[in-house]
Chains A and B, each alone.
Chain A
Amino acid sequence: MKIAVLSGKGGTGKTFISANLACSAEKAVYADCDVEEPNGHLFFKPIITENNTVSVIVPEADINKCVLCRKCIDFCKFNALALINGKLMIFKEVCHSCGGCIVLCPQQALSKNKRDIGTVEIGISENVTVISGCLNTGEVSGISIIKKIMTKIPDNKTVIIDCPPGSACTVMESIRSSDYCVLVAEPTIFGSHNLAMVYDLVKIFNKPSGVILNKCLNGQENPSEKFCTDNNITVIGKIPFDEELGNLTSCGLIAVRENDKFKSFFDNLLKEITQ
Chain B
Amino acid sequence: MKIIIPVENTNDETLVCPSFGRAPFFMIFDTETNDSQFIDNPAANSQGGAGIKAAQTIVDNKAEAVIAYQCGQNAADVLKAGGIKIYKAEMGLAKDNIAKYTENKLFVLTDIHPGFHNHGGGRN
Considering only residues 23-72 of chain B, those with a C-beta below 8 Å from chain A are: 43, 46-50, 52-53, 55-56, 59
User: B81: nearest residue on chain A (CB-CB)?
Assistant: A84
CB A136 to nearest CB in B, in angstroms, measures 11
CB A84 to nearest CB in B, in angstroms, measures 4
User: Would you give the 0/1 interface string for A77-91, flagging 1 where the beta carbon is closer than 8 Å to chain B?
Assistant: 111111111010101
Known contacts A77-B48, A79-B49, A91-B49: A84-B120 contact under CB 8 Å:
no
One of A79, A96, A140 near B52 (C-beta < 8 A):
A79
User: B53: nearest residue on chain A (CB-CB)?
Assistant: A79
One of A73, A77, A82, A93 near B119 (C-beta < 8 A):
A93
One of A83, A87, A93, A94 near B56 (C-beta < 8 A):
A83
For residue A219, CB closer than 8 A to chain B, the reply is no
Whether B49 contacts A78 by the Cβ 8 Å rule is: yes
A267 to B74, CA, bound (A): 52
For residue A138, CB closer than 8 A to chain B, the reply is yes
Contact count band on B: 20 to 34
CB B74 to nearest CB in A, in angstroms, measures 6
Whether B81 contacts A94 by the Cβ 8 Å rule is: no
Contacts of B119 in A (CB 8 A): 93-94, 140
Whether B49 contacts A89 by the Cβ 8 Å rule is: no
One of B52, B55, B83, B123 near A94 (C-beta < 8 A):
B52
User: B48: nearest residue on chain A (CB-CB)?
Assistant: A78
Contacts of A89 in B (CB 8 A): 77-78, 81
User: B82: nearest residue on chain A (CB-CB)?
Assistant: A84
Partner-B contacts on A (CB < 8 A) = 73, 76-85, 87, 89, 91, 93-94, 96, 138, 140
